[in-house]
Amino acid sequence: MTLIATVSPENADGKVAETYGKIAGALGFVPNAMKIYSSSPALLENIWSQISYYMQHSTLSFPLLAAIRMLVSKRQECEYCVGFNEAMLINHAGWTHDQVMDALKDPASAPFGEKEKALLIYVLDALKAPKKLEKNRLEALHALGWSDAEILEAVHHAAQNVAEDMVFNTFRIEADY
């Protein structure tokens, strides 16, 4: 059971109800990952705004973003996010169970082409040891066609996921996927 009180969609009102409506419209339901923020309507709205931005991203693909979240969450030991993103990769991105398990063991084995795989590894390295990343790694990403904005947004997405994992682990979010 989640350690803090959350508002169910049936009992939501005001800004929470409005945001829940957007979430349900996009996802088909309101996951516990969103309900956890219901005691802070402004934060709920902010988190959903960020998620919506990445859901509609024109160049950072759905599978890449889900893999980033899954692999970051594995490092953060957030079972909810690992499982949620595993399910997203299998059910919505067409990955097999074996591909997900292989990526969890070795991110370099994720079923991406060179360009996305390089960004995935860069992002994971940025979270592990950001001060050790050298400019030549950025140049290599540029050579593959990634812009500074895309690289920044991918790293930001991963860093934001660390914060989400901390919230979910702290308040013991329950699986609903």
pLDDT at 84: 95
pLDDT at 148: 98
- Quick one: which of 85, 73, 83, 104 has its CA closest to 166? 73
On the question of pLDDT at 90 being above 90, the answer is: yes
Instruction: Locate 132 and state its tokens.
Output: 């050790």
Regarding pTM above 0.75, the answer is yes
What pLDDT, in 10s, does the model give residues 110-151?
Answer: 999 999 999 999 999 999 999 999 999 999 999 999 999 999
pLDDT at 155: 98
- Quick one: which of 72, 90, 93 has its CA closest to 81? 72
- Quick one: which of 95, 152, 98, 94 has its CA closest to 122? 152
Higher pLDDT, 177 or 59: 59
Q: Are 115 and 64 in contact (CB under 8 A)?
A: no
On the question of pLDDT at 95 being above 80, the answer is: yes
Please report, as a single letter, which amino acid is at residue 170: T
Instruction: Locate 43 and state its tokens.
Output: 């934060």
**Structure letter (DSSP) for residue 28:** S
On the question of pLDDT at 177 being above 90, the answer is: no
Which helix (H) or strand (E) element contains residue 107?
none
- Helix axes of 148-170 and 79-92: crossing angle, nearest 10 degrees: 130
* pLDDT, averaged across the chain: 96
pLDDT at 1: 76
On the question of pLDDT at 88 being above 90, the answer is: yes
Domains in the chain, CATH or no CATH each = 12-55 (no CATH), 62-170 (1.20.1290.10)
**3-state percent breakdown (helix, strand, coil) of the chain, nearest 5:** 70, 0, 30
What pLDDT, in 10s, does the model give residues 12-52?
Answer: 999 999 999 999 999 999 999 999 999 999 999 999 999 99
CA distance 116 to 104: 16
51-72 average pLDDT score: 97
Higher pLDDT, 177 or 98: 98
Q: How far apart are the first and last CA of the chain?
A: 15
56-85 average pLDDT score: 97
